[in-house]
Structure 1
């Protein structure tokens, strides 16, 4: 479970978010960076220059920034994530207008869920952007939905590797696999996932899978809200609205 630091350093947070965008998407201009993290262009330029200095970024002849040597990710993976994000953003904005809460697009990398796009609600009390953040997959609605797509043997192998890595690094081990399998079976049957405080206290998230034209789940679109505003009676209509958005994203991907 993640808790924001008591004394958060905004400049560090902005730099880390920009590094994540470069790693996942491949390139950024100063103007795009400024818009994405909500800072002035001069500030975005200084942040990107520091990333270049520390080898997290490279600047080409046209002054576009790309992932540097420290950020190792295949070019194909970056472009695929960028296309996914581009296809999803218009639908995410419409989804925020429809439900009045913040929304996210999530992918899975191993046992982790990565938030590759977020659009915040305009409400004063809202869940803030999770873009660029990484959580254990079994603690997010998107991660659970994507884990539910895996065959039983692949799931076991995935968490066996995680258990070995945790033991080597002295960290807490993976979740109880039998219990996780039960959760995933239920989620697979119902077609959506509800996360009540698994990743963050006081936050409820509801998610559905985004599927490619061949039926493969490639991401999850979810709505996140303060738990005080979660109404279980509203769940069926919320899921239906999410499924409509997920279908729209899938259609955009097929066109691409």
Structure 2
């Protein structure tokens, strides 16, 4: 049972002002809705440039988002998620070593993603060591239909159920449904998804993903290899996909009761 502390909390003796300001910005957006950066700076009594830097980091981590009218709003990271925290911790623990092996084998950034409603949450990132790379996405949310990991997971859902859930999703454009269903059918035939540079995803990033199953046989998460599009070569797709499939199989084996950490045999 969760116990809530209702006592009045005193301000810590040693504060980190930038952290405090960032948290207050996130709370303001959650409580009062969309606001301009200048208004937020005035509310906190900080410079506009400081507010802009803090908001940029909140957007990066999914605690805020910028609307078309340039105002900021609370982000997906502040919404309740439908993923069991214990399950996420176990999945991450058993997958991390294999994600690192996959990063070393491909030279690119590797992500582990789970589905929360119709949003994908990145629960672990292992960054490429190359200078030009796709950065850490740990903790971020994206619409599942817009990214390769999300599409790999959506493809595992019965089409009828998916249509019902998409119809109830306010952020999904119904005009995209036919095209999405065709794309997911292709994912099912191939066994993997590759992003198609959709407008809501990051430009100049190519990502390849495969779903992995839990011990019950249901799709549990997706493993993605992401790279700058300038470095992606179509002739390397089979090679990359083979490495991802191997990582998926190893994580599934670990989840089914195999060793939670990487074995020496896996390093070969």
TM-score, L = length of structure 2:
0.65
Q: Is the 8 A contact 2:62 2:140 kept in 1?
A: no
Aligned twin of 2:147: 140
Taking the aligned partners of 2:183 and 2:249, their CA distance within structure 1 comes to 24
* Within-5 A mapping of 1:1-256: 9=53, 13=57, 17=61, 77-162=84-169, 165-166=170-171, 173-174=173-174, 176-198=176-198, 199-255=201-257
Question: Which structure: larger Rg?
Answer: 2
Aligned length: 193
Taking the aligned partners of 2:241 and 2:192, their CA distance within structure 1 comes to 7
Runs of 4+ that moved beyond 2 A:
6-19, 70-74, 172-175
TM-score, L = length of structure 1:
0.68
Question: How large is the Cα RMSD of the aligned pairs?
Answer: 2.7
Q: Is the 8 A contact 2:62 2:141 kept in 1?
A: no
Structure 1 gap ranges (5+): 1-5, 20-69, 167-171
Structure 2 gap ranges (5+): 1-48, 64-77, 261-268
Taking the aligned partners of 2:220 and 2:147, their CA distance within structure 1 comes to 15
Q: Is the 8 A contact 2:121 2:140 kept in 1?
A: yes
Q: Secondary structure at the match of 1:9?
A: helix
Q: Is the 8 A contact 1:211 1:247 kept in 2?
A: no
Q: Secondary structure at the match of 2:99?
A: helix
